[in-house]
Structure 1
Amino acid sequence: MSKLTAKQNIKAIVTAINAEETSLRARYPILKWQNGIAMVILLLSLCSFIGVATLYYVAAIPAWLCIVLVALITSIAHELEHDLLHKQYFSKHPLIHNFMMLTVWLMRPNTVNPWYRRKIHLHHHKVSGTSQDLEERLVGNGIQSPFLRAVVIADGLLGLLLNTKRFSKEIRGFKFLQVFNAGAPLATAYFAILYGVIAYYALQFVQPFEVPGWGVELLEVAELLMVVLILPNVIRSFSLNLVTSSMHYYGGVNNVLEQTHVITSRWFLPFQLFCFDFGRTHTIHHFVSNQPFYIRQMISKKIRPIMALHGVRFDDLQSLKHANQYR
């Protein structure tokens, strides 16, 4: 580990990230078309999503393949949203920018709307590692109980309900209805369908019963949505929530060096697959936030050794035993 001060280490990492990005852009002039690249990625993702859903609808692919492919596609949509929160694309064209924001939300309806998320995400960068970091606490960061942590990671709505009392005491300005309403109408409909289908099959298991014709038609639509949209996002959000809540510290944080550790462990590889390698690249974002996700991915291999040299921890999974505290 470097013997430099924290400030010097941070500066060295930021300098290395910026230098690598500059070199990359010089080698590939096409990267200057940042808005265009983002729009192409968005449209390709959207068309792929619709295409996979259509293939399942016409019985050309099995349900499991549809679920896996859509989960992968929506993980890209999440990365686009992350960049949009920092206004990296079409910032001077609000109509296009907001169209992109709406599209990535439609593809990931189990989240709060991106306009509200921008507010808590930018706040996250200011208070990362503290009790005021609502964004990370909503996905399980800082929870000691493994059972409660698993519930929050798997089900954002149930996690919000279980933690409301604690958040109200510890997080300044927290209001349950503000967070809950930020998911309407998409997240509301998402969880209504998810819980509705689960309840239906649970009741059928306990006491089988017949449903009227309109009920059968409604169930068919719900089951279709479960395969092409809901279950893929269950996998995507579970993977992302597990990785991000594991790599962010909670407590004992004094600077950017101590906000996250990098996750490269092979045990996390299945989950990294469904969150676009988040665990190995997100720490870069904490040092340089105004950088497209694809550039972060392209430079990560060279930047990770530099971060390690300057004090960023790797695979500090022991922190999970201490509710993510930085020790």
Structure 2
Amino acid sequence: MNNTHTISTSPLSKTEQESINDITQKITQHSNELRKRYSLLGYQNVIGASVMTLSVTGMVIMGALYIKGIIPGWLCILVNALLTSLIHELEHDLIHRLYFRKQPLAHNLMMLLCWITRPGMPSPWLRRELHFHHHKESGTDTDVEAWITTSGSTWGAKRFLKLIDGFVFGIVNALFAPTWREKIRLTVKVLRLNAPMGLLYWGCWYIFLGYHLYTWASSLMGIAYQPSPTTSMLMNVINSAVVIIVAPNIIRQFCLFFISSNIHYYGDVTPRNPLQQTQVMNHWWLWPFQLFCFNFGSTHCIHHFVVRDPFYLRQMTAPFAHKVLAEHGVRFNDFGTYKRANRYNFTQPES
């Protein structure tokens, strides 16, 4: 895979292009040195498959322990959220074909496991198209992936809703479209992006919330609610699904989108200029969010310069890479992005 940036059509200055080339070359050289130093890194397919096996097995074990009453629900939720953050990193690497590139059966099996364990996300095969475009046109108006994670939106109730519940946001956004044709088009788009896994995922979540809100309200009003045997059995299944897979992914997705949407610049970046596409966010107070997205804010900027390295190697190269990025003016912990709706320039976006 070509891990450099071909930017012949981009209005970059000679200095910017030289900086991009220098960053890419130095980080690539450093990761090559790590590969030589640690022979285990040469078994990339084995590492990816092992992380997937351990993560999925861990989720199944935690789910079984919860169902048997051996561990509390909160522990299952937190551990599985951590495990799904690993699986997200695997999916991101798989989208770039970093594992089993020449073995489609194994590659697609891993992709399927990523989707099953993170059903609230669109199909990884569909995401591949969006993600490749994100790399090509990061931060521009056509960068759908950045828009999905709320980049470019001003902070408020609308952005917060989009962070915690993309499905409801999509439906609400469709309902407020100016014409019926646009309402239908956007609704179909939301359903298509979420079919079929996401519809089951969000369906479980809304039934869970609705049922428990109803029983809570009934108890407040002094009404004795006695569910039927069928309802009890259905809710046992839904309650377990929420604890084992839905709630962990809601936590993981919120943390990932919060970090991702703020490390990416949007709206006024120079096209195809990785110097402006992302920043590094590694301030100490971000660690609760970083925990559930595998240190994404600290390492994702590296990926925009060197695509070929898997997620665990980015963690290893980060101390060196951060020095190189800083030398070339890539930003660190620019929290002003919250006020600027992710604009790169230090001006407030027009309302």
TM-score normalised according to structure 1 size? 0.94
Is 1:203 matched up with 2:214?
Answer: yes
Tell whether the 8 Å contact from 2:155 to 2:338 is kept in structure 1 after alignment.
Answer: no
Other-structure match for 1:279: 297
Cα deviation digits, residues 1-21 of structure 1 (max 9, x gap): xx9811111111101110111
Aligned partners of 2:150, 2:308: CA distance in 1, in Å? Answer: 26
Tell whether the 8 Å contact from 1:112 to 1:179 is kept in structure 2 after alignment.
Answer: no
Other-structure match for 2:239: 223
Other-structure match for 1:143: 153
Aligned partners of 1:215, 1:283: CA distance in 2, in Å? Answer: 48
Other-structure match for 2:283: 265
Amino acid at match of 1:200: Y
Amino acid at match of 1:70: N
Aligned partners of 2:343, 2:280: CA distance in 1, in Å? Answer: 15
Tell whether the 8 Å contact from 1:138 to 1:160 is kept in structure 2 after alignment.
Answer: no
Cα deviation digits, residues 244-294 of structure 1 (max 9, x gap): 011110122111100011101222110000000000000000111121111
Tell whether the 8 Å contact from 2:155 to 2:339 is kept in structure 1 after alignment.
Answer: no
Q: CA deviation at 1:37?
A: 1.2
For residues 1-327 of structure 1, what are the structure 2 equivalents within 5 Å? 5-164=15-174, 176-207=187-218, 208=223, 209-254=225-270, 255-327=273-345
Tell whether the 8 Å contact from 2:95 to 2:128 is kept in structure 1 after alignment.
Answer: yes
Aligned partners of 1:163, 1:18: CA distance in 2, in Å? Answer: 42
Aligned partners of 1:220, 1:38: CA distance in 2, in Å? Answer: 34
SS of 2:194 mapped into structure 1: coil
Aligned partners of 1:237, 1:60: CA distance in 2, in Å? Answer: 27
Q: CA deviation at 1:182?
A: 3.0
Q: CA deviation at 1:88?
A: 0.9
SS of 1:314 mapped into structure 2: coil
Q: CA deviation at 1:309?
A: 0.8
Tell whether the 8 Å contact from 1:9 to 1:311 is kept in structure 2 after alignment.
Answer: no
Aligned partners of 1:315, 1:285: CA distance in 2, in Å? Answer: 17
Tell whether the 8 Å contact from 1:105 to 1:114 is kept in structure 2 after alignment.
Answer: yes
Aligned partners of 1:41, 1:163: CA distance in 2, in Å? Answer: 37
Counting aligned pairs with the same residue, the percent is: 39
Amino acid at match of 1:218: L
SS of 1:323 mapped into structure 2: coil
SS of 2:70 mapped into structure 1: coil
Q: CA deviation at 1:311?
A: 1.1
Query: Unaligned regions of 5+ residues in structure 1, if any?
Result: 169-173
Tell whether the 8 Å contact from 2:115 to 2:123 is kept in structure 1 after alignment.
Answer: yes
Aligned partners of 1:212, 1:23: CA distance in 2, in Å? Answer: 64
Distance 1:126 1:280, change over 3 A: same
Distance 1:269 1:115, change over 3 A: same
Q: CA deviation at 1:218?
A: 0.4
Cα deviation digits, residues 214-271 of structure 1 (max 9, x gap): 0000001111111111111110000001000111101221111000111012221100
Aligned partners of 1:26, 1:319: CA distance in 2, in Å? Answer: 39
Q: CA deviation at 1:176?
A: 4.9
Cα deviation digits, residues 40-83 of structure 1 (max 9, x gap): 11111111111111111111111111111000000000000000
Aligned partners of 1:99, 1:235: CA distance in 2, in Å? Answer: 25
Other-structure match for 1:171: none
Aligned partners of 2:186, 2:18: CA distance in 1, in Å? Answer: 39
Query: Unaligned regions of 5+ residues in structure 2, if any?
Result: 1-12, 180-184, 346-351
Aligned partners of 1:233, 1:156: CA distance in 2, in Å? Answer: 12
Larger radius of gyration: 2
Q: CA deviation at 1:301?
A: 1.2
- Structure 1 vs Structure 2 CA RMSD: 1.8
